[in-house]
A and B are shown apart, each in its own frame.
Chain A
């Protein structure tokens, strides 16, 4: 209940933005707001990993791509020629496949989006666990480099594999009907609906993570960050908590990938590029590392500006610059910058203390 109260201003803002756009005939803004919300879902997950568990990942673009590409591939690749295959037949009889007719009258048989979504999430869990166990033993620069390496591998895999559409990526991804009447897709008619689906998902994610950091687990994570040695001596299984957090953040990234891919109707290799991963790290840093609200606000705001094309061809350069400026002038995030009263006053306050 208290949690709902704390997010009330956000709910009001979400509805106000939609109404404002409707009133001013600028509903097209909702498209970028929807996409930004999905990116922000990844960013708040990464925020818990970086800010609370204190582990950096330069590979989260990879997990986003795992989610997006797997659901795109499964929901578009026609299984009809494989109908005789035992596995395909079994899936079909279980109702996990969807048969239809395309624009040219050809019939097709594909995996339903729900099944594809679950497979994508399970793949993210499995891969992040397998990567996390060896990699999270590393610290600082070494962890950054190892996760960067993972991101590069995913990028090259989707770029090189025919199954994932090589340089073209995958297009023609169908809508994802969550429940009858609620479909994640880029149809103009569903623009408002999709805006609320994206923000609804982001808010659910936010509530779950807020709950997490306020709990025994959250305390353990912050303790690891504060003093890994002392946390260990308090009985905190630091290795396990780091891995669980890594997997959790990978799942957030994968879900964001799944939904955004259905919304956009496709996915391309740029989503897996290292620059994307760097951007996510920059956005967590701008938000203040251990600051879910900051990560959410900055994640939405800067992604929105980027998607609107405000930064033009300097898009990636802008995020690089942001990262440098934040590290230099506001290592605790841009929201930590306050209007500073005169220096003399600060000295006075210190003297009194």
Chain B
């Protein structure tokens, strides 16, 4: 079953066609990767799916319903979580608090309930804290729970961002270059982590530059170049694809 379907998606910035009639599908339980040279439109594609940018034309279908044109918070509450290439921590909040924000769509206390501490609110708050702590443990960063997130090491911030996204209990997780800025050991760790996330039943769509990581963990790969899809196949086939080799290595 297709969890996500991108249909003739198009994004134009003035005269630039950043994403040009791209179509592909992500099956439930899959790890799918989007690769391509810099400027191929990968991050734009993510921003279109998550609602951060309005689409020019085309459709994004999630769980059988069109979601293009919806606001990011609406798309998030339907079950799509994302991380950013340039980590976006909530400054002024600890690692744990960052992850607790991730429980937002799964909890409900509003202004009145919070101010007057209405029945159910303290229990919900305890549950949010416990769930966030569990996720920090899952990612091996429980020891930095109370440290301001922006003062953590880069790799730890990536882990917090991931925990925060997982806290949403998403059905689809969009990872924008999860290994950017990490060394090879950390990258391998991220790879294991992504497989672990899939085992939790979460479908993953990732953009990544690190080829070894992509080839290792992906079930299928979409290749973009100048906004257009030039290939979609299994990792082994992508490695042999002459068009893909051409855009990565250049022509002879």
On whether the two chains bind one another, the answer is yes
Question: Which A positions have Cβ atoms within 8 angstroms of B?
Answer: 208-209, 211-212, 215-220, 222-223, 225-227, 229-238, 244, 248, 290
A216-B107, A219-B101, A234-B101 given as contacts; is B89 within 8 A of A227 (CB)? yes
Partner of A236, one of B73, B91, B93, B109: B73
How far is the CB of A213 from the nearest CB of chain B, in Å? 9
Say yes or no: A227 contacts B90, CB within 8 Å: yes
Chain B residues with CB below 8 A from A209, complex form = 115
Q: Which residues of A contact B101 (CB under 8 A)?
A: 219-220, 223, 231, 234, 236
B250 contacts the other chain (CB 8 A): no
A81 to B209, CA, bound (A): 81
Known contacts A216-B103, A230-B88, A235-B73; can you find 12 more A-B pairs with CB under 8 A? Answer: A211-B116, A217-B111, A219-B100, A219-B101, A226-B93, A227-B89, A231-B101, A232-B73, A234-B81, A234-B164, A236-B101, A236-B104
Instruction: Give the interface segment out of B6-14, B117-125, B194-202.
Output: B117-125
Q: Are B102 and A234 in contact (CB under 8 A)?
A: yes
**B105 contact set on A, CB distance < 8 A:** 234-235
Interface: B43 (CB within 8 A): no
B92 CB within 8 Å of chain A: yes
What are the residues of chain B within 8 A of A218 when measuring CB–CB? 114
Contact among B50, B97, B114 for A211, CB-based, below 8 A: B114
**How distant is the Cα of A218 from the Cα of B168 in the complex, in angstroms?**
18
Chain B residue numbers with a CB within 8 Å of A248 are 111
Please pick, from A216, A222, A226, A233, the residue contacting B76 in the complex, using a CB distance under 8 A. Answer: A233
Give 6 nearest A-B pairs by CB, closest first: A226-B90, A215-B114, A235-B105, A235-B76, A230-B88, A232-B72
When distances are taken between beta carbons in the complex, the residues of chain A under 8 Å from B93 are 219, 222-223, 226
Does B92 contact A216, Cβ atoms closer than 8 Å? no
What residues of chain A lie closer than 8 Å to B117, measured between beta carbons? Answer: 211
Q: How far is the CA of A234 from the CA of B164 in the complex (A)?
A: 8
Which chain B residues lie closer than 8 Å to A220 at the CB level?
101, 104
> Are A227 and B91 in touch, CB under 8 angstroms?
yes
- A217 adjacent to B52 (CB under 8 Å): no
A-B contact count (CB 8 A): 101
B84 in contact with A230 (CB, 8 Å): yes
Q: How far is the CA of A233 from the CA of B70 in the complex (A)?
A: 12
Known contacts: A208-B115, A212-B115. The answer to whether A223 contacts B73 by CB under 8 A is no
Chain A residue with Cβ nearest B82: A233
Q: Within the complex, what minimum Cβ distance (angstroms) separates A232 from chain B?
A: 4
Please give the residue numbers on chain B whose beta carbons come within 8 Å of chain A beta carbons, in ascending order: 50, 52, 71-73, 76-77, 81-82, 84, 88-93, 97, 100-105, 107-111, 113-117, 121, 124-125, 128, 164, 168
Q: Are A216 and B116 in contact (CB under 8 A)?
A: no
Which single member of B71, B77, B88, B92 contacts A225 (CB below 8 Å)?
A: B92
Given known pairs A230-B90, A234-B76, the reply for A216 and B71 (CB within 8 Å) is: no
Which chain B positions have C-beta within 8 A of A217?
Answer: 109-111, 114
Inter-chain CA distance A229–B117, complex, in Å, is 29
Docked CA distance A233–B50 (Å) = 7
The residues of A that contact B113 with a CB separation of less than 8 Å are 215
Query: Is A226 in contact with B115, judged by CB distance below 8 angstroms?
Result: no
| Residue ID in chain B nearest A207 by CB atoms | B115
Please determine whether A208 and B88 come into contact, CB atoms closer than 8 angstroms.
Answer: no
Q: Are A233 and B109 in contact (CB under 8 A)?
A: no
User: Which one, B71, B88, B110, contacts A227 given CB within 8 A?
Assistant: B88
Residues on A with beta carbons closer than 8 Å to the beta carbon of B164: 234
Chain A hits for B109, CB < 8 A: 215-217
User: How far is A231 from B121 in the complex, measured between Cα atoms in Å?
Assistant: 21
Residue contact A222 to B90, C-beta cutoff 8 Å: yes
User: CA separation between A232 and B80, bound complex, in Å?
Assistant: 12
Contacts A/B (CB < 8 Å), 10 sampled: A216-B103, A216-B107, A216-B108, A216-B125, A223-B93, A225-B92, A227-B89, A233-B82, A237-B73, A238-B73
Inter-subunit contact B73/A212 (CB<8 Å) = no
Rounded to whole Å, the gap between the CB of A245 and the closest CB of chain B is 8
| A229-B52 contact, Cβ under 8 Å, with A215-B125, A219-B101 | yes
B168 contact set on A, CB distance < 8 A:
234-235
Measured in the bound complex, the distance between the Cα atoms of B121 and A215 in whole Å is 9
The interface residues of chain A lying within 8 Å CB-to-CB of B81 are: 233-234
**Interface-centre pick from B97, B113, B115 (highest chain A CB count, 10 A):** B115
Q: B114–A235 contact, CB under 8 A?
A: no
Q: Which residue of B is nearest A209, CB measured?
A: B115
**Distance in Å: Cβ of B84 to nearest Cβ of chain A:** 7
Tell me, rounded to whole Å, the shortest Cβ–Cβ distance linking B114 to chain A: 3
